[in-house]
Structure 1
Amino acid sequence: MKGYLALEDGTVFEGKAFGATGKRHGEVVFNTGMTGYQEILTDPSYCGQIVTLTYPLVGNYGINDEDFESQRPQVWGFVVREACTIPSNWRSREKLEEFLARYGIIGLEGIDTRALTRRLRSYGTMRGIIATGEQDPDFLVEEARNAPGLSGQQLVPLVTSKKPYIIQGQSYRVVLMDFGVKQNIIRWLQKLGCTVIVVPAQTTAEEILAYNPDGIMLSNGPGDPKDVPYGVETIRNLLGRKPIFGICLGHQLLGRALGADTYKLPFGHRGGNHPVKDLRTGRVYITSQNHGFAIDPDTLDPDIVEVSHINLNDGTVEGLRHKKLPVFSVQYHPEAAPGPTDSEYLFEQFMQLMAEGRQNGLEVDGHATK
C-alpha cells in the first residue's frame, strides 16, 4: 500500500506504508540513534510527534518483552528508509510491522530519509501528515498546514500515570513526578534500592510531601514546558523542602520554577551521541537526548542558580544547579535506553543529596525535619 508524508512547507514524500492504516498529524522530527528503536517508539516524550530515524535499516532485531519505556508505542507516526520484515534476535517476540499495526501506529518506509532529515535540519521541525492509501498530495499539504503545532497541546495528561503507585525498595523514598516517565528512570532508582512512589503530573506539593519522601524526581515528558504550568507551580512549592533531581522536561520545568524562560529549538536534540561539558570539572560526556525545547540562560538569576553543563554542539543549557539548595537537573537522559551510560553517576549524586538531607534535615512548612 502507498504511504505519504506531507510537510507544511509543501514537501511530499511517497513510500510504502506498513503497520496501521489511516491518517495522523504530528510534529515531524528526526533521531540519529543507530539502535534502540523499540525504546524510541515507546518513549512518552515522543507523544505528538512523527519520528524518522536516520539509520537506514530498522526492525532487524524485532520487538522484545524487555525494552519497553512505557506500556505501548507513544509516537504518532514512524518513518524509516527500510523496515526489516525478517528480524533475527533471540529475544525477538514480534515483528516491527506487527507491533505498529497492533497499536494503530502508521509506519512509512522507502522514502529518502536523508533528504527529509536535511530539510528538517535546515528549516526546523515541521507539522506533518502521515497517511496511507491513495491520497491527494496537495490536500495533505493543506492538512499539514492546518494541523495544530506541538505547543498548546495538552500532551502530558495523555502519558502521565492515572493514579499513584509504589514500588517498594530498601533505602530512600523517592517521589517521582510522572510527566511521561521512561521506565529506565524507575529501573535505575530500583537498582539503587529506592522505594519509588510514582505520582501523576498534577499532584500537588502537599500531596507529595505527605508521602514523606527523601527526595523528589522530576521526569521527562512530551511537549512544550509552557503547557505544564501546574507542574511548575508544584515544583516551586517544593523548592527547599526536599532534594530535587530533574531530567529533560523535568529540567525545563525546574528552570521555569526558578524564574527562567524556555524556548523552542530549531530541530531539537534527538540521538545518543550528543557531547555535553560539565563546567565544574571540564569533563565531556556523550549523552542520550530527546527534546525540542531549552532553557534561556539569559533569564536565569545568577544569584540563585548556575548553569552546570552545556551542549558542545550549540552551546545550549544542559544542566542547572541551585547555589543554596540541594536541587539540580540535566537536559539529557542519564538513564539512557537507548544510548551511552556515561552520566549514570548523576543518580549517585542524587542519592548523596538524599543522604545529606536525612542527616542534616530540610525544612517542611517552616519546621526543620530534624
Structure 2
Amino acid sequence: MKYHKKVPAILILEDGTVFNGNTVGELTHDSVGEICFNTGMTGYQEIFSDPSYFGQIMVTTNAHIGNYGTNKDESESNSAKISGLVCKNFTYQPSRVNSDLSLEEFLTVNKISAICDIDTRALVSHIRKNGAMNAIISSDVENIKKLQIDLSNHPNMKGLELASKVSTVEPYFVGNENAKYKISVLDLGCKFNILRRLANRDAYIQVFPFDTSFEELTAWNPDGILISNGPGDPDPLSNAIEVARKCITNNIPTFGICLGHQIIALAKGIPTFKMHTGHRGINHPVQNLKTGKSEITSQNHGFSVDKSAAENHEDIEITHIHLNDDSVAGLKIKNKPCFSVQYHPEAGPGPNDATYLFDQFFDMIGQEKLTV
C-alpha cells in the first residue's frame, strides 16, 4: 500500500475563521471559491463533476470520502467542476470492483485541490449559522495574511455569471436522429444524465451554447426546449432570460431545471435572491401541490425564486414546495406549455420520485402538437 505523507494545509473563510488539516496528495496550487456543503452520503463523483458546482469549494458531510473510487461512466460532465474539496477522512485505497481511478487520482487528473482531517461538523455548523461565503485552501500555512488578501480579492457569487465557463462551445447532438421527438437544450451547465433521460424517451437532442438565441434554438424545428441547470447567479444571464421569454410568448413547450427554473421565473419578472446557505443534498423533501404527493429530491442551488412575487403573479402557478423551508420548488406558466422545478429530476435519490417530470414534458409536447 502506498504511503501518503501528511502535509499541513489550511482552510481560511472570508470571515477570518481558520481550519487546519492536511493535503490530499500534493497541493499544487491554492484554491478559492464559495464554500458550501452537500449532505449526500453517496454520489461524490457526481457532485464533483456537476457543472452547477463550478466556482465552489465543496464540503462533504459524510465522514468518509473516497471509499469506492471513481468510474468514468459516472461523471456528470467531462471533468471535475468544483474549485476544491474539504473532507474529514479521505480514503486513498478504494474498495470497488469497477473503480477506474481512486478519488486521489481523479482529483489529481482534474487538478482539484483537496484538504482532509478537517472537523467538518464544526465547519458545516459555522456555515449554517453564518451563511455561504468565500474560502481558500492552501498548504502555505505560514503566510495567512497573504492568503487573506488573495481571498478578499475573489468575487462574490452574487452577481457572478458562470454559465459561460461550463457551457459547450459548439452545438452537438445526442441520441438517435430518427427518434420521435427533437429537443433543443440551452446548456447553462447541463448534466449528462439530463440528456440521457431525454434520449431514453425517444428524443434526438441538440445541445446549444449558453448564449444561443431563440431563433438559433428553434431553427431546426424542435418539439420542445429544455433550459438546463448551471452555476452562478441567474440574473446576469440576459440572453437565457430572453430565450425563456420568447419560448413562453411563442407557446414553445419548455422545461426548466434548477438554474433553468430561475431563468423562467426571471422571464416573467419574478426576482431571485441568494440564499443563506442554499440547498445541496439528496434527501430534500418536496411536495407536489397538484397531487399532494411528496418526493425525495436531489438539490443543488444557492439562489431561489421569490415566493411572494410568484404567489402574486397572475400568470404563475406554484406547483411544488420545499417542505423544509417552504421555498418555491416548482412553477408553471398558466395557459402556456412551460414549467420548471428547482431540483434535479434526472437524479435518483428517491430513486424515481421525480422522473415523471420528463414524462410530463413529453406529454405537454404531445398536447401542444394536437392544438396546432
Q: Deviations over 1:248-273 (max 9, x none)?
A: 00000000001100001100000000
Aligned to 1:17: 23
Q: Deviations over 1:268-288 (max 9, x none)?
A: 000000011111221111100
Aligned to 1:84: 91
SS of 1:88 mapped into structure 2? coil
In the alignment, does 2:327 pair up with 1:316? yes
Greater mean alpha carbon deviation, residues 12-21 or residues 31-40? 12-21
Q: 1:338 to 1:179 in 2, by over 3 A?
A: farther
Q: Which amino acid aligns with 1:163?
A: E
Q: Distance in 1 between the 2:237 and 2:313 partners?
A: 24
Aligned to 2:4: none
- Structural mapping, 1:291-370, within 5 Å: 291-300=301-310, 301-336=312-347, 340-361=351-372
SS of 1:336 mapped into structure 2? coil
Runs of 4+ in structure 1 deviating by more than 6 angstroms, as ranges, are: none
Aligned to 1:262: 272
- Structural mapping, 1:92-111, within 5 Å: 92-111=99-118
Q: Distance in 1 between the 2:228 and 2:22 partners?
A: 36
- Structural mapping, 1:1-370, within 5 Å: 1-19=7-25, 20-169=27-176, 170-239=179-248, 240-300=250-310, 301-336=312-347, 340-361=351-372
Determine if contact 2:271/2:309 at 8 Å carries over to the other structure: yes
RMSD: 1.3
Q: 1:86 to 1:339 in 2, by over 3 A?
A: farther
Displacement of 1:88: 1.0
Determine if contact 1:202/1:230 at 8 Å carries over to the other structure: yes
TM-score of the aligned structures, taking structure 1 as reference length: 0.95
TM-score of the aligned structures, taking structure 2 as reference length: 0.94
SS of 1:85 mapped into structure 2? coil
Determine if contact 1:287/1:341 at 8 Å carries over to the other structure: no
Q: Distance in 2 between the 1:138 and 1:211 partners?
A: 55
SS of 2:331 mapped into structure 1? strand
SS of 1:75 mapped into structure 2? coil
Q: Distance in 2 between the 1:46 and 1:96 partners?
A: 18
Q: Distance in 2 between the 1:52 and 1:238 partners?
A: 37
Unmatched 5+ stretches in structure 2: 1-6
Unmatched 5+ stretches in structure 1: 362-370
Q: Which amino acid aligns with 1:353?
A: M
Q: Distance in 1 between the 2:139 and 2:200 partners?
A: 43
Displacement of 1:337: 5.7
Greater mean alpha carbon deviation, residues 256-265 or residues 276-285? 276-285
Paired residues in the alignment total 361
Q: Deviations over 1:174-212 (max 9, x none)?
A: 101100000000010111110011011111011111110
Displacement of 1:214: 0.5
